[in-house]
Amino acid sequence: MMAADRLIGTGFVVLGMAMIWSMSQLTFPNLGPGDPGPVILPMGLGIVIAVLGAILALRRPAATVASDGPDGNLETATIVPAEPPILRVVHLVNLVAYAALFERLGFSVSTFLFLAVAIFLLGQRSARGAAIAIGWSLLVTFIVGTGLSTLVGVPLPGVIFG
């Protein structure tokens, strides 16, 4: 096991415990009958972060070591080239544009554009990859937008079909 895994896992445990403790110190009145108030989500996330951090810190190393290539030779190993640094900038611009366009274009259009660009850049950059990115972006935007607006009742601006 790598020492970095233990260190990072311990850091997440401390972060999760700090979130749980700070949420337990807040006193908010319930907003209505059966409403847990604004404490429940950060406390739940703190629990998840602490548990996943503990799993990372305490897990055992893998018993088998992966081979270098299909037949164990280093010469046949597939080298995956690193992405160019400009893609990091494009992802950051995509995220900032999503936040900036959310109020102006609404949930559906801005989320679709954000997901289409992100999926295309993270996947296969070809015409087929663009079609897949557009299809998944439409599907995810529709499901999340409809779910948030109809099932949960979140008043999102510009939800199409919701």
82 versus 31: which is more confidently predicted?
A: 82
Q: 104-143, pLDDT tens digit by residue?
A: 888 889 999 999 999 999 888 899 999 999 999 999 998 8
* Phi/psi at 30 (5° precision): -65, 140
Q: 50-95, pLDDT tens digit by residue?
A: 999 999 888 876 655 555 555 556 666 677 677 788 888 898 999 9
Q: Which amino acid, 3?
A: A
Q: What is the residue extent of each domain of the chain?
A: 1-28+35-58, 85-152
Please tell me the chain's helix, strand, coil percentages from 3-state DSSP, rounded to the nearest 5.
65, 0, 35
The model carries a pTM of 0.55
147 versus 99: which is more confidently predicted?
A: 99
pLDDT at position 51:
94
